[in-house]
Amino acid sequence: MENAFIIKGGNKLKGSIKLSGAKNAALKIIIAALMFKNKVTIKNVPRIKDVEELIHLLTTLGAEVDFHDRHTLEIDGKGLKSNKVDLLHASKIRVSFMLFAPLLHKFSTCYVPNPGGCRIGARPIDRIIDGMKSLGIRIEYDSDTGFYYAQVKSKIQGYYKYPKVTHTGTELLIMLSVLGDDKVILDNTALEPEIDDLIRFLNLAGARIKQLGKKITILPVKELKQKDAFEINSDRNEAVTYASIATASKGEIMLSPIQPEILKTFTAKMKQIGAEVENIGKSLIRFGYAGPLKASSVQTSPHPGFMTDWQPCWAILMTQAKGESVIHERVFENRFSYVTELRKLGADIDFVKIPVKNPAEYFFFNFSPDKKYHQAIRIRGPQDLHGGVLNVADLRAGATLATAALIADGESVINGASIIERGYENFVEKVRSLGGEIKKL
């Protein structure tokens, strides 16, 4: 059995972790860099599988993308020679659909596969396609080949209001508009901090993007030129994962660099359940176990709410908390793949139905009345967990199963280690540095 972690649980995990660059910022900034006139240098790029896959895809399209040192990437999009993203690569890296932006700017036409669904739901891009059409892009879908054909028909300009927020959807239309032909106004945009990083990256290169609440105005510029190397901010999802690992194992952890502001919803909940949280200076946070945890329910929502990416970690913490808690997932339609796995370790978790007055409004995915959804779980704790053989379905669920194994009594096997390594740099080394007993087969 390869591609598995063997974990022996039960240690109190303590120590300090230097966070890696944010996956969900790096991937888009690397794609946007292809639109620059000159070579682009990006620092603090995480060495994770998703980044490696994206780099491989960009080089097959003719771009030059190389690591200058361990975490500094140099990108030159001048050599782009193909306007067609192949199916195999697109199936390996979901954000490949964002290549609409650089390919349309370079070739005015492009072929991009439908990213399709994945383990956490159907994940259509209907809002994005509608947005592109509103901005003057002709786009057709060939259901036989699974490809979109897009063409800049006339000018890229106009107004688009997202029917519901979309994180990558906001980022893609920003990228498409910066080198457009006239003003673009995007309304009801997403607010994730990674979008701020993308806007900062583009504006430092001469773009004219203004964000006011959920409205973004973009005035077109002729070219984008990088002046100084750009540094990716650290990964808040990684921070939440390690804070959960330390607290659930009754240990403590120092995380840096991380701005407390972007984690404030999470840290507020951690304080609510009785964990210790201390902001030290501008970019260091200490999380620690300070006695029995109290159960507390969450419902997920886009930033600045409780992130959907954090709810799998929250589930583990709630198995160790006294009382009953409910997690209500509003953003994705299938984000509880870890539940059946945690039950194998003895967790007391049930799917529950929570009546929702207007589900089409309440959920952030495209709700369909004739579909069956499992959007809420109830957890009873505290529950001692024991080892088992677990299977990873998606990235954040994988980190949750690793956390469960680290606090369970005995040894566990986690199949699908590579899925965890898609989004967590040096996962084994970092867990070992906290005193975790983990090895990769």
Footprint of ligand EPZ (CB under 6 A): 23-24, 27, 95, 121, 123-128, 166-169, 190, 192, 237, 302, 308-309, 331-333, 364-366, 395-396, 423
Q: Which is nearer to ligand EPZ, 317 or 321 (CB)?
A: 317
Q: Is 118 a catalytic residue?
A: yes
> Which lies closer to ligand EPZ via its Cβ, residue 321 or residue 395?
395
Which lies closer to ligand EPZ via its Cβ, residue 297 or residue 366? 366
- Compute the least distance from the CB of residue 392 to ligand EPZ, in Å: 12
Catalytic residue among 6, 118, 122, 204: 118
Angle among Cα 19, 285, 429 to the nearest 5 degrees reads 35
Q: Nearest distance from residue 237's CB to ligand EPZ, in Å?
A: 6
Question: Closest CB to ligand EPZ among 146 and 220?
Answer: 146
User: In terms of CB distance, is 289 or 314 closer to ligand EPZ?
Assistant: 314
Query: DSSP secondary structure string, 287-346?
Result: EE--SSEEP--EEB-STTSB-GGGHHHHHHHHHTEEEEEEEE--S-S---THHHHHHHTT
Contact 135, 181 (CB under 8 A): no
Please state the closest distance from residue 56 (CB atom) to ligand EPZ, in A: 17
Residue 48: C-alpha distances to residues 4, 96, 360 (Å): 17, 16, 36
Least distance in angstroms from the C-beta of 125 to ligand EPZ: 4
Rounded distance between C-alpha atoms, residue 190 and residue 213, angstroms: 9
Q: SS3 letters for 359-392?
A: HHHHCCCCCCCCCCCCCEEEEEECCCCECCEEEC
> Tokens 């808690």 sit at which residue?
325
Residue 192 C-beta: closest distance to ligand EPZ, Å: 5
Distance CA 105, CA 402 (A): 42
Paired tokens of 58: 């960009």
Instruction: Give how far Cα 395 sits from Cα of 36, 85, 211, Å.
Output: 31, 24, 30
CB atoms within 10 A of CB 193: 17
Please give the Cα distance from 309 to 336 (Å, whole number).
11
Nearest CB to ligand EPZ, comparing residues 364 and 427: 364
Q: Which helix (H) or strand (E) holds 341?
A: helix 338-344
Q: How far is the CB of 422 from ligand EPZ (least distance, A)?
A: 9
Q: Which is nearer to ligand EPZ, 124 or 435 (CB)?
A: 124
**Of 168, 126, 211, 117, residue with least CA distance to 302:** 168
Nearest to 297 by CA among 381, 189, 236: 381
For the chain, the C-alpha Rg in angstroms (whole number) is: 22
3-state secondary structure of 142: strand
Least Å distance between CB 146 and ligand EPZ? 17
What residues are labeled active site?
118
